[in-house]
Amino acid sequence: MITGATAGFGEACARLFAKAGWRLIITGRRLERLQNLQAELGGSKQTCISCFDISDRQATEQAFAELPVEFKQIDVLVNNAGLALGLEPAYATDPEDWERMVDTNIKGLMRCSRLVLPGMQSRDSGYIINIGSVAGNWPYPGGNVYCASKAFVRQFSLALRADLLGTQIRVTNIEPGNAETEFSMVRFKADEQRADKVYENTVALTAQDIADTIWWLVNTPVHMNVTTMEIMPTQQATGPLAIFRG
């Protein structure tokens, strides 16, 4: 299952796994995109559409309950659906944006994990790959709740591993840096000029880079668990701590 397969990392990942013959459940809110992707990836036998809003608990639980029987056993969950909204300082943000980031990046990811874990536990196998972010490690101005939501993903991933010690179930938190997808168009609410600036005069990561990483991870031997993986473009690095001099 790849959550958020209608764009960016999730879509690239779906293409890569389908090419290798994997059966997939692709999720997202945009049904038409899911339908087009399903058609491209070999139709409904190979690819199952599950269209729901991951921030809605009831819709998420219902979507899992309604999976066709041949897709019910989820071996790998790529917890990818997520978003940033806004880049304003905390005192100037739209409180609704904060709610949506928490409901999507934290609660959505947490619920999908909870829904697949019992099956993985009973089969003593499975892999949960969470898409965190460098933002979970390196706070930046305007990152506020987005950064905090990705810090949750990091800590949740580590704590899951603690719970799963003694099982064959693996958990990895991938923490990408600047990557060119629809992410910035979403963050800046379709302000194309502002979104383009994020990728201007630099070489960002691509969705394919992250898909290739996920592919590598699922093909590592079962005795090996990569806990966290922070991946930045070569043209990105952490900055020094800031000092204000009035």
Active site residues: 146
- In angstroms, the CA 151 to CA 214 distance is 20
Q: Considering beta carbons, is residue 167 or 236 the nearer one to ligand 8X3?
A: 236
- In angstroms, the CA 76 to CA 37 distance is 19
Q: What does DSSP assign to residue 240?
A: P
Q: Considering beta carbons, is residue 218 or 232 the nearer one to ligand NDP?
A: 232
Binding of ligand 8X3 at residue 178 (CB under 6 A)?
A: yes
- In angstroms, the CA 7 to CA 33 distance is 8
Q: Considering beta carbons, is residue 125 or 236 the nearer one to ligand 8X3?
A: 236
Q: Considering beta carbons, is residue 6 or 172 the nearer one to ligand NDP?
A: 6
Residues in the chain: 246
Q: What's the token pair of residue 244?
A: 């204000």
Q: Which does 136 bind (CB under 5 to 8 A by kind): ligand NDP, ligand 8X3, none?
A: none
- Selection from 66, 144, 48, 51 nearest residue 105 by Cα: 144
Site for ligand NDP in 207-246 (CB under 6 A): none
Binding of ligand NDP at residue 9 (CB under 6 A)?
A: yes
Cβ 167 to ligand NDP shortest distance, Å? 25
- In angstroms, the CA 109 to CA 101 distance is 11
Looking at 2, 135, 169, 205, which residue binds ligand 8X3 (CB under 6 A)?
Answer: 135
Binding of ligand 8X3 at residue 134 (CB under 6 A)?
A: yes
Q: What angle separates helix 144-164 from helix 109-123, to the nearest 10 degrees?
A: 10
Q: Considering beta carbons, is residue 77 or 134 the nearer one to ligand 8X3?
A: 134
Binding of ligand NDP at residue 54 (CB under 6 A)?
A: yes
Looking at 49, 53, 75, 142, which residue binds ligand NDP (CB under 6 A)?
Answer: 53
Binding of ligand NDP at residue 28 (CB under 6 A)?
A: yes
- Selection from 242, 215, 227, 237 nearest residue 78 by Cα: 215
State phi, psi for 69 to the nearest 5 degrees: -55, -35
Question: How many CB atoms sit inside 10 A of residue 184's CB?
Answer: 21
Cβ 86 to ligand 8X3 shortest distance, Å? 12
Binding of ligand NDP at residue 121 (CB under 6 A)?
A: no
Binding of ligand NDP at residue 127 (CB under 6 A)?
A: no
Cα diameter, the chain: 64
Interaction site with ligand NDP (CB under 6 A): 4-10, 28-30, 53-55, 80-83, 104, 131, 133, 176, 178-179, 181-183, 186
